[in-house]
Structure 1
Amino acid sequence: MRLAFVSDIHGNLAALDAVIADMSHRKIQCVVNLGDSLSGPLLPLETADRLRNFPWLHVAGNHERQLLRLPVERQNLSDAYTSSQLNPLVKNWLASHADPADPRLQTAQIWPEQFGHDVALCHGSPRSDIEYLLETPEGEAARLASVREIEERLAGLIPENISLLACGHSHVPRTVRWRSKLLIVNPGSVGLPAYDDDHPYPFSKFHRIENGSPDARYAVVEKFGGLWRCELISVPYDHESMALLAEKRDRPDWAHALRTGWMPRV
């Protein structure tokens, strides 16, 4: 089976369409969306309508949870704008792939009917939708997580038979070959190549994620000789149209990120 993983579209319809066009040349058999599909100042409703037209599988991200469970007055700017645009049909669609368990926790999902018994999926880490699995914020940047940190975040939640674990959330395209057997894949972000975050971490009170390119990202995986291999793909698209839209919505931070893949410095 040849799988594609997308994640963190964040309402960027132009980037999503570029990824869909690129996939059409790659003989993809199944596409999995790892969450955070709509939130942002761009085109959340139009993005939802596009996604609903494809037979993709969807994992809920932290922004799906926040859109569905937090009152608007407690939502951040991106979620609040998105909430104002969504109709009941789209909210019901989001709820259909949201995690029904503890809203702050998202254990890895295993769908043997689609992938067999060796693939697991999550948005953040197997224990939380707001935890990076492969990155650790330190100071104002995010570094590759240490062996010990990844071990703690997996925390015995991935069965021994799993050989492919896909995650998103950090927007950083990366693969880690864990303990020789398990391939961990983060496809990066389709729609937002950079952002900053003031959520406190043990080594950081404020950090930036920056990929240094405006391109849309996704991943294709395929099994050879009993092991999964991954291609991390970077797709150029008309990012200026989305940057102009972010400016129109009074989000210059998004506009700069969409144009450059970096966050502005003041």
Structure 2
Amino acid sequence: MRIAFVSDIHGNLAALDAVIQDIERRRVDQVVNLGDTLSGPLLPVETAQRLRALPWLHVAGNHERQVLTLPLARQNASDAYTSGQLAHAEADRTWLASHADPADPRLHRGEMWPDRLGNDIALCHGSPRSDIEYLLETPVGEEARLATPDEIRERLDGRLPPHITLLACGHTHVPRAVRFAGDGVTQDLLIVNPGSVGLPAYDDDHPYPHSRYHRIETGSPDARYAVVERRGDRWVCELISVPYAFEPMARLADQRQRPDWAHSLRTGWMPRA
């Protein structure tokens, strides 16, 4: 079983096409999208139409929830732009609403798609208990560090049964693979975040215990995803970085008055004042 995990496409069609082409040459058995698929100032409708033609499995992220359930006045600029575009594309909005709800406990028990993924795989967007919680990162000051084992255990919140050996998450845009082996969480658990296909850096002023503002930066404009393969009785992860022609997407962000996005797309860093 070879599974490609993608996440956080954010309407970046150029990055998505580059990742699709790279996945096609790797002969994977299944592709799973972990959410935050359309939201942003780029090409949400075109991205939805590209994905609708593919036999991928999709998990909703926090931006799906926000676009589909929050009043427009409460949506941030990225979600509001996407909502406006989807208002004229009912089929794409319906497709987005069909994605698996990350609050569904079946995702965390490995029961949502056992015929296509196996029952030892669990999925979420943020953490098993919240689509906006970082699982593998902890904001401290203006940066986000690798979470400690105790922090990760606390965020898992006892929601993974012992037969789960692979948990895939997204949300933080940071490519990472963390393994717990025989330490009481589970017999052998690999947690994989494939990183972001479409947005390599962002900043956030959501308050945390040790941070009121932080930046997530990968330092490269490349699109990211992961391929996970079972070898014997263990999962092996490859974190993949794919170069693509990012400048048209950056210019589009500029045209839509999002210089923060444009800088991120060109560099993988956030602008400094």
> Shared fold by TM > 0.5?
yes
The answer on whether the counterparts of 1:106 and 1:127 sit within 8 Å (CA) in structure 2 is no
Q: 1:155 to 1:218 in 2, by over 3 A?
A: same
Q: Equivalent residue for 2:94? A: 92
Over the residues paired in the alignment, what is the CA RMSD in angstroms?
Answer: 1.5
Q: Equivalent residue for 1:223? A: 230
Question: Matched residues in 2 for 1:204 and 1:106: separation?
Answer: 33
Q: 1:98 to 1:214 in 2, by over 3 A?
A: same
TM value normalised by structure 2: 0.94
1:226 deviates by 0.5
1:3-18 to structure 2, matched below 5 A, reads 3-18=3-18
1:195 and 2:197 aligned:
no
Question: Matched residues in 1 for 2:12 and 2:214: separation?
Answer: 23
The answer on whether the counterparts of 2:5 and 2:225 sit within 8 Å (CA) in structure 1 is yes
Segments of 4+ in structure 1 off by > 6 A?
Answer: none
Q: Equivalent residue for 1:44? A: 44
Question: Matched residues in 2 for 1:61 and 1:101: separation?
Answer: 10
| Structure 2, unpaired ranges of 5+ | 183-187
Q: Equivalent residue for 1:68? A: 68
- Give the counterpart of 2:242 among 211, 232, 235: 235
Instruction: Tell me the SS of whatever aligns to 2:108.
Output: coil
Deviation string 1:66-123 (CA, Å, 9 cap, x unpaired) is 0000011100000000111012111111111142858xx9963622121221100000
| Structure 1, unpaired ranges of 5+ | none
Instruction: Tell me the SS of whatever aligns to 1:108.
Output: helix
The answer on whether the counterparts of 2:221 and 2:243 sit within 8 Å (CA) in structure 1 is yes
1:170 is matched by which residue type in structure 2? T
Q: 1:241 to 1:109 in 2, by over 3 A?
A: farther
Q: Equivalent residue for 2:189? A: 182
Instruction: Tell me the SS of whatever aligns to 1:126.
Output: coil
1:1-266 to structure 2, matched below 5 A, reads 1-86=1-86, 87-99=89-101, 108=108, 110=110, 111-180=113-182, 181-266=188-273
The answer on whether the counterparts of 2:103 and 2:129 sit within 8 Å (CA) in structure 1 is no
Q: 1:106 to 1:232 in 2, by over 3 A?
A: same
Deviation string 1:198-241 (CA, Å, 9 cap, x unpaired) is 01111110000000000000000100110000000000000111
Question: Matched residues in 2 for 1:95 and 1:116: separation?
Answer: 24
Question: Matched residues in 2 for 1:49 and 1:254: separation?
Answer: 22
Number of paired residues? 264
The answer on whether the counterparts of 1:107 and 1:157 sit within 8 Å (CA) in structure 2 is no
Question: Matched residues in 2 for 1:101 and 1:187: separation?
Answer: 20
Instruction: Tell me the SS of whatever aligns to 2:247.
Output: helix
The answer on whether the counterparts of 1:67 and 1:83 sit within 8 Å (CA) in structure 2 is yes
Instruction: Tell me the SS of whatever aligns to 2:82.
Output: helix
Instruction: Tell me the SS of whatever aligns to 1:255.
Output: helix
Deviation string 1:170-222 (CA, Å, 9 cap, x unpaired) is 00000000135100000000000000000111111000000000000000010
The answer on whether the counterparts of 2:144 and 2:216 sit within 8 Å (CA) in structure 1 is yes
Q: 1:98 to 1:115 in 2, by over 3 A?
A: closer
